[in-house]
Each structure stands twice: as C-alpha cells, then as structure tokens.
Amino acid sequence: MYKKYIIFSIIIFGFLTNQSLAADFNPNFIISDEEITDTTGMSLEEVQRFIKSKGGFLKDYIVDVNIINEPFRQMPAPDFIYERAVQNGINPKFVLVLLQKEQSLITNPSPSQRDLDFATGYGCPDNGSCSERWRGFAKQVNSATLQFRDYIDNPQNYRYQVGQVYTFTDNRYNVGQVTTVVTPLNKATAALYNYTPHVYNGNYNFWKLWHEWFSYSYPEGSLLQAKNDPVVYLIQNGKKRPFKSKAALLSRYSLNKIIIVDPSILDQYLLGEPIKYPQYALYRSPKGTVYMIIDDIKHGFTSAQVLKNLGINPEEIEDMSQALIDEIPEGSPITMNSAYPMGALLQNKESGTIYYVKDGKKYPIINRDIIMVNFGEKPLITTVSSDQLTNYISMPPLYINDGELITSKDPNKNAVYVIANGLRRPIISGEVFEALGYKWENIKHVDDQVIDMHPVGEPIDSTK
C-alpha cells in the first residue's frame, strides 16, 4: 500500500533549483516564455473586471493615445492595456503586473501625474531621470510591450542572455545588501533583467506579484469545490469553469475527483465559460434537427438514418428552444461517414494494437495502463480488421487525461505526478499532496513506460 506520509523521491532536471522546490523565489527562472507571450492570457472583459476589482485609479482613467504616427484618440485604460498587449504580442497579465511593480497603478486610487506619465518605467534609468521622449501613459504601455517582445524575438541584441552567468548586488528586504549569482534559464527571465537589472530591487517584486495574482497550485483538469458551496469548477486554460448541473459533471468526471478548497483559492481564478450540458447529450431543435453535445460544441445529425446507425434511442432526445440551441457553438455535422463521434476503443485483430478512435482519427495506445486510467478497468474494446483501421487518420499516441494522479508500479520509485497539458508535474511531498486536498485512493499505479511518455513539468511544491 502507498504510505500516507512518505516523502516522494523525485528526480528533477537541472532547470529547477532547490529554491524552486522550496516554493521560493528562483532568480534564474522568474516566468516562462509561454506565459510572457500568451496573448490569450486574459480577454478584454477579464482585464476590465480585474482592474475594477483592485479598485485603483486605472479603472476609470481615460488614456490620451498620443503615440507617434497614430491619430490622437481617447480610450479607457483597461481597453488600451489589452489592445497594446495583444497587438504587440505580450500577455495582458504581464502588463498588469508590470504596471503594479513599477508604479502600483493597479491598486493605487490616487497616483501622482508622474506615476501615470512613467507608468511602466520605460526610459527611466536607475538615476531617476526619465526621458521626456517617453512621457505619457500610452507611450509607456506601448513602448514597454514592444520592448519585451523584442527581448523575446531578438535576445542576441541585449546584455543579459540565456545561459550566461551574472552577478548582482542589491538590497534584499529585511536582510540588507546581498550578492546573487544569476544564470537566466529562459528568454523571459533574461528579458526581465534587461528591463530591470536588479534581483531584489525589482524582479523579486515582479515574481511576487505574478504569483500572488496569476500563479495557482492546481493544474489543468482539476475539479475544485469551495467549502459549503455546491458549485463544482473545472480548471481549464487557467480559468474556473462552473458546471451548471450535476448531469453535466457526472457525464465527464467521477465525484471522487473533486477537491474541496478554501473559497479564497477559487477567488484567484478568472471565471471561464460555464459547462451547461452533459457530454453526448441529445437535443432536438424546433426545426427538427437533432444535435449531440461533444465538448461544449453541438454537432447536428444529417439524417434519421445516422441516428439509427449509431444505436441512439429516440427517447434519449430532449426538445430545446431555438434560442438555446443558437447559443451553443456549432461543429461539424455527424454524417454516415462520421467515425465514432463519441469515441471508441478499437483493436487491430491482426497486430493486437489498440487505438482510441474519434472523429475519423486514431490514437495508438502504447500501454494498457493508459486504458485503465482513462477508461476504467473493463471498457468495451471492439475488434476490427487492419483494413477498417486504414480509414482513420493516424495521430500521436494517446496520453493520460489531465487531472489524473499516477505513480510507478516499481515499489522503489515513490514519485507521484499529476497530469496537466500532457506533462507530468511532480508533487514534492506527502504534506503538499494532502494540503492540496488530493485523495490517496485516486493514485493510479502505471508502468514506467507510461510515466516516461509524459515530459516532466514544473513541480507542485506548495499550497499557494
């Protein structure tokens, strides 16, 4: 049996340091390249809501857009922040943190005019003599986002670069002057040092704000429920998606995967689109078209014969108003040639290889433990000929579903991982495992081959 208080022995590759394992600031890796360039990190509405929730001056600030070679115009600060972030290839979250780190503009209800005029600290060297050329909120946001994009796209043009060793001496809060040796491990971290060449007088503050606002412990695929709240949320793309009904939840997940958390944990996540309908639910529009809901998208059946061929009982079909039908995004129709729209496990009777087949695509399964984890102990597997399988497009091997907990069958290997975005993220201790609300009985023991096919992701090292 798995020991409840065992400390997991985890081999972490060299890009992670002891500091990161202690849930501490790691000056070598402050933010990932993917995070700084993710222009989909927040929508315009989410930027607006976030700034309003923080209560700072920017929630009502109207920006004079007086950028060279652009017509003068005015627009709300949240809208301009979003526009320039996306236009210049930077995550809107990153811009919000930069504005707070430089001038506290996200939370300060009454900043000075100078704070607004040099909002991102662009063109402001350490001696404090900011260049008049870059005065103005619009110029500051636009120039800073363009600058960070160039740091990422042309790192060879700047002083601080990935893999090089640098020594910084600055003041650390409650400690005094300290010397830190830094080796930037990615372009985003190097970019931050190029913008602010200090460890604790700048980049530590950025890291602290980023983790406070946008870094959470629970990976993709987690099911979270606040104490004393009936709503269950799916963590997906960094947002919390509420299930609008128990049927919608049960059609996708087992109730024993729900993690009970403090309400403050869920408060940190942006609200995503609700999950309204059960997976594979069937609805008939007033026009007579029957639709199947697959992953929040409706797929219309082209004929009654298609319904019959799939073995669908007409009594399972519910009537739905046209208004509600129209709200659901539409996908490809289900025709006589559609191959297993709900997915199926097919085994080649000649070779024995098992595939997961869905929407005309076949995903080979390299190990039966993947079937056990994703589909249960005794799923239906249909035997077919090689000729039948040639009709489907070949895809990469099937991975374990997000949110699953796995460990090795080898009793000498105690590492426990949670799968997220195809990566295996190690949970560094039994204490962290329990503090996060995971259940020991949900850990699945699998072959090392299954573990190794999932690249190692960032460890889960705290309850933050």
For the record, the structure tokens of 9 come out as 């022995």
Banded model confidence at residue 164, pLDDT cuts 50, 70, 90: very high
Q: How confident is the model at residue 206 (pLDDT cuts 50, 70, 90)?
A: very high
Mean pLDDT of 197-221: 86
Specify the pLDDT at position 24.
67
Pick the closest to residue 370 from 382, 358, 353 (CA basis).
353
Q: Is the pLDDT of residue 268 over 70?
A: yes
DSSP lists the bridge partners of residue 181 as 167
Q: Which pLDDT belongs to residue 16?
A: 32
In order, the DSSP letters of 2-64 are --TTPPP-----TTS-HHHHTT---TT-SS-HHHHH-TTSS-HHHHHHHHHHHT-GGGSPEEE
Q: What phi and psi values does residue 276 have, to the nearest 5 degrees? A: -90, -35
Q: How many CB atoms lie within 10 A of CB 173?
A: 9
Torsion of the alpha carbons at 86, 89, 93 and 94, rounded to the nearest 10: -140
User: What is the reported pLDDT for 216?
Assistant: 64
CA distance 400 to 455: 12
| Sheet with 354-358: strands ordered across | 381-384, 344-348, 354-358, 361-365, 393-394
User: Alpha-carbon distance 419 to 403, whole Å?
Assistant: 5
Statement: residue 177 has pLDDT above 90 = no
Q: What is the DSSP string of 166-225?
A: EEEEEEETTTEEEEEEE---SHHHHHHHHHS--IIIIIHHHHHHHHHHH--S--TT-EEE
pLDDT of residue 398: 96
Q: Position 206: which residue type?
A: F
Domain boundaries, the chain: 1-25+399-464, 31-214, 223-271, 282-327, 344-394
Q: Per residue in 15-66, pLDDT tens?
A: 333 333 334 688 999 988 988 999 988 899 989 988 998 999 999 999 999 9
**285-340 per-position pLDDT tens digit:** 999 999 999 999 999 999 999 888 888 888 999 999 999 999 999 999 998 877 78
Query: What single string gives the DSSP state of each residue in 216-253?
Result: -S--TT-EEEETT---EEEEETTEEEEBSSHHHHHTT-
Q: How far apart are CA 180 and CA 166, in angstroms?
A: 8
Residue whose entry in the numeric block shows the structure tokens 């890009």: 15
User: CATH class for domain 344-394?
Assistant: alpha beta
